[in-house]
């Protein structure tokens, strides 16, 4: 489950946000619908604290059922008992699109955050922004030309020299890290694409074990390497 925050408050609530078309959003809270929240700004965060969704303008209470609150941004409210209020197929497709965006945002944030690499017995951290990746690509070219000393820096520390062996280890580890998360996110998207229900889509989160049916050959090999 994700963490939700509303305008004017630093308090977090546990729940799931599901866009319904362009004009409605459903929020399912854990522990019941809280009182006094300002829904003009809705922010959703992963359990690890990465923001992946921000919605504004959903200020009208369309309908509430138990711990689920449906809001609209066009002033509409639920009237009467409509057997098929929402087109389920469209709701499913909208949920899939939202989930894919969420997974891609988390994947990108995870890659940029970088990884730890043990260099000459010391654990060092290397971020992987676009500039960092370009720098590492340049270092790989330097390696190919036979350079023996490489200027680079651990995240948050001054630039220093690394040996060719150290530089190669950094490049290999960071690129493997990026490859794994890119491949993992691709497999998540295949799972989302083939999900048959809203419940299945909502059960998918970044870090979940991918069902074997959606594990491609590359991901399977990477999982084996990580476990060895």
Per residue of the chain (228 residues), what is the pLDDT tens digit?
Answer: 899 999 999 999 999 998 888 889 999 999 899 999 999 999 999 988 888 899 999 999 998 888 999 999 999 888 765 445 556 778 888 999 999 999 999 999 999 999 999 998 999 999 999 999 999 999 999 999 999 999 999 888 899 999 999 999 999 999 999 999 999 999 999 999 999 998 999 999 999 999 999 999 999 999 888 775
Q: For residues 70 and 192, what is the distance between their CA atoms, to the nearest angstrom?
A: 23
Q: For residues 37 and 33, what is the distance between their CA atoms, to the nearest angstrom?
A: 9
pLDDT of residue 47: 86
pLDDT of residue 65: 85
pLDDT of residue 150: 94
Tokens of 46: 């992963």
Residues 6+ apart with CB under 8 A from 191: 204, 210, 211, 214
pLDDT of residue 80: 62
pLDDT of residue 83: 43
**Residue ranges of the domains in the chain?**
2-86, 111-227
Long-range contacts from 196-205, C-beta under 8 angstroms, 24+ separation: 197/92, 198/18, 198/91, 198/92, 198/95, 201/92, 201/95, 201/96, 201/99, 202/16, 202/18, 202/95, 202/99, 204/99, 204/103, 205/46, 205/47
């Amino acid at each position: 489950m994700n963490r939700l925050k509303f305008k004017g408050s630093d308090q977090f609530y546990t729940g799931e946000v599901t866009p319904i078309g362009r004009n409605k959003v459903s929020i399912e809270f854990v522990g019941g619908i809280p009182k006094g929240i300002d829904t003009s700004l809705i922010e959703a965060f992963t359990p690890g604290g990465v923001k992946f969704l921000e919605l504004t303008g959903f200020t009208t209470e369309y309908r509430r059922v138990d711990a689920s609150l449906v809001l609209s941004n066009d002033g509409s409210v639920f009237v009467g008992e409509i057997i098929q209020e929402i087109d389920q197929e469209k709701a499913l497709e909208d949920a899939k699109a939202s989930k894919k965006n969420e997974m891609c945002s988390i994947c990108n944030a995870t890659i940029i955050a970088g990884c730890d690499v043990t260099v000459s017995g010391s654990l060092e951290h290397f971020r992987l922004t676009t500039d960092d990746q370009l720098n590492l690509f340049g270092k790989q070219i330097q390696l190919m030309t036979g350079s023996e000393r490489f200027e680079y820096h651990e995240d948050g520390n001054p630039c220093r020299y690394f040996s060719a062996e150290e530089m190669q280890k950094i490049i290999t580890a960071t690129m493997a890290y990026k490859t794994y998360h890119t491949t993992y996110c691709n497999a998540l998207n295949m799972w989302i694409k083939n999900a048959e229900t809203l419940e299945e889509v909502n059960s998918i989160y970044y870090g979940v074990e991918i069902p074997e049916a959606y594990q491609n050959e590359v991901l399977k090999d990477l999982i084996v390497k990580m476990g060895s």
